[in-house]
Amino acid sequence: MADTPSIAEVMALIEQMPEPDREELIQSLHSADDLAVVIRALEEHADRARQCPHCKAVGAQKRGRVSGLARFQCRACRKTYNALTGTPLARLRMKDRWLEMAAAMADGDSVRKAASRCDIDKNTSLRWRHRFLRAARGHRKGTKLGGVTEMDIAYLRRSEKGSRKLSGGRKARRRGGPKKTDEALVPIFTGVERGGDLVADVLQSETAGAIRYVLGDCLARGTIVVTDSAKNFGRTFRKMGIHHERVNLAQKQRVNGPFHVQTANGIHSLFRRFLRPFNGVATKYLANYLEWFRTLEHRHASTRFAFLSSIIDGAIMGRA
C-alpha cells in the first residue's frame, strides 16, 4: 500500500492546479464542512429524545443512515423516521448550502441575492426561505408571556404581490399611492412581555375570539395585560379572567401609573423598518416575515449558525 502523502505534498499539488480547479476544490471543502455542521445540529435534537413523530413514543432505536441522516425505528409502531420527518424541512436537499442560506437570511438578503450567494435557482431560494420560516414558527408552542405584557394591533395595507389576478377584480395600485378611506387593512397583533418574549401574528379579524385564538395558552397565570382602550381588548380579557389595564390614547393619555404600551408600539416601528427593504410583502406570507423578524430581534439569531439552530429548534418543537 502506498504511503499517505504529507500535508506539504498535498499543498504542493494544490498550488500546481489551475485556478478554476483550485477554487472548485476549496468550495467543495467548505461545502463538506458546512454539511457536517448541519447534520450534527439536526441529529443532536433527534438523538436527544428519540421520540417518534408518528405515535409520540420514546426510545426509538437507530437503523442505519439515509441521505446522510441517521434513521430511527420506533419500538411501538415500528415506523422509521429521521430528524426532519414531519417538519417543514423534510425532503429539502443540498443541506451543505443551508448554512449559507441561513447567513443570507440573517443578513436580510433578497431572494435573488440569496440565490446567487448559495449558488441555487431563485425559485429554490424562495422555497427555502418560506420553508425555513414555517419551521421557525414552531417556537410558538414554547412561548410564554407573563409579568407585565403589552398588547396592541398595527395595520398594514393588504398586498397580493406576485399574484397574476387581483381579488375582486380591482386594478393594481401604484406603489406609494394615497390610501383609500374604505381600503381593508390587515391587522397585526403584537403581545410583548417587558424584558421577555414576543407573540406576533396576523389576525383573521379583530374580534375577541380571533385574539384569544392567536394567544392560545401562552399567557402565564398572574399576567398583567396592558392595552389601549379598544373595546375588543376588554371583551377578550374579561372572558379569559386576565387582569387588564388600559391606557386611553384617544385622550392623549400616554401612561397610566406604571403602565404604557410604548414597548409594543416600538415593536411595530421596528417591524415596519424590517419590511422596508423588501419593497412590499404579500399578505399570504406576512406571518412568515413576522417569524423572521422575531428570530432576529427577540432570539438574537444574527449569525448563520444561530439562525439555522433557531430554525431547527422551531422545526422540532412544532413536530412535538
Tell me: do 155 and 79 sit in the same domain: no
CA angle 113, 119, 121 (to 5 degrees): 75
pLDDT one digit per residue (tens) for the chain, 320 residues: 456 666 566 666 666 777 776 666 666 555 557 788 888 888 877 677 688 889 988 888 988 888 888 899 999 999 999 888 989 999 898 998 998 999 999 999 999 999 999 999 999 999 999 999 999 998 888 788 989 999 999 999 888 888 888 877 777 777 666 666 667 789 999 999 988 889 999 999 888 889 999 988 889 888 999 998 888 888 888 888 889 999 888 777 788 888 999 999 999 999 999 999 988 899 999 999 999 999 998 888 888 888 998 998 888 888 87
pLDDT value at residue 175: 65
The verdict on residue 258 lying in a domain is yes
Tell me: do 151 and 277 sit in the same domain: yes
Coil, strand, or helix at residue 300? coil
Task: Write down which residue in 85, 120, 152 finishes a domain.
Answer: 85
pTM tops 0.85, yes or no: no
Tell me: do 160 and 257 sit in the same domain: yes
The answer to whether 72 and 80 have CB atoms below 8 angstroms apart is yes
pLDDT value at residue 109: 93
Tell me: do 281 and 149 sit in the same domain: yes
The verdict on residue 94 lying in a domain is no
Tell me: do 310 and 206 sit in the same domain: yes
Q: Which three cell numbers stand for residue 136?
A: 421557525
CA distance 28 to 14: 14
Q: What domain range includes position 272? A: 139-170+181-319
Tell me: do 165 and 297 sit in the same domain: yes
CA distance 108 to 99: 14
**DSSP character string of 115-144:** HHHHT--HHHHHHHHHHHHHHHGGGGGG--
Taking the CB of residue 235, how many other CB atoms lie within 10 A of it? 15
pLDDT value at residue 9: 61
The verdict on residue 201 lying in a domain is yes
b/e code 266-276 from CB counts within 10 Å (16+ = b): ebbeebeebbe
Tell me: do 153 and 299 sit in the same domain: yes
Task: Write down which residue in 56, 85, 114 finishes a domain.
Answer: 85
CATH code: domain of residue 149: 3.30.420
pLDDT value at residue 1: 43
Tell me: do 71 and 159 sit in the same domain: no
Task: Write down which residue in 50, 85, 120 finishes a domain.
Answer: 85
The verdict on residue 111 lying in a domain is no
The verdict on residue 96 lying in a domain is no
pLDDT value at residue 177: 63
The verdict on residue 2 lying in a domain is yes
The verdict on residue 101 lying in a domain is no
The verdict on residue 198 lying in a domain is yes
Task: Give me the helix-helix angle, 304-319 and 122-136, nearest 10°.
Answer: 60
Number of domains in the chain: 2
Helix (H) / strand (E) containing 41: helix 19-49
pLDDT value at residue 273: 94
Tell me: do 67 and 196 sit in the same domain: no
